[in-house]
Amino acid sequence: MSDNLYEVVWPRSERKRALESLAPRLGTLEGKTIAQLWDFIFRGDEIFKILEAKLAERFPSISFINWRDLGCTHGEDERAVLAALPKRFKELDVDAAISGMAC
């Protein structure tokens, strides 16, 4: 056994913001407008088509705002695109969003 003692340091800094409550979960997607957000990196164009079809089978009155209409959430314009989303969501009466990103 070693008598060496080691100080342990937490690798993250102190939390600077208080935790905020999450938005309430939607009871259903029926009649809701869903925004699609994508970083244009990996197969989102294919995945969103599949998601749209499957969700429309389950919730016939669902509607979608296509990722093409909202801009790329990654890259040189990402800050502007992300900053504009709250206003765009309000203008488009968006109820929820699906954010697709490559890993």
Per-residue pLDDT of the chain (103 residues; tens, 9 = 90+): 567 887 888 788 777 888 889 888 999 999 999 999 988 888 878 889 999 999 999 999 999 999 888 888 888 888 998 999 999 999 999 999 998 876 5
Task: Domain of residue 37: give its range.
Answer: 33-100
CA distances from 30 to 48, 56, 57, 64, 79 (A): 18, 9, 11, 12, 31
> What domain count does the chain have?
1
pTM of the model: 0.74
- Residues contacting residue 80 through CB under 8 Å, at least 6 positions apart: 71
Q: What is the C-alpha to C-alpha distance for residues 25 and 64, in angstroms, rounded to an integer? A: 18
50 located within any domain: yes
86 located within any domain: yes
What's the token pair of residue 85?
């989303």
3 located within any domain: no
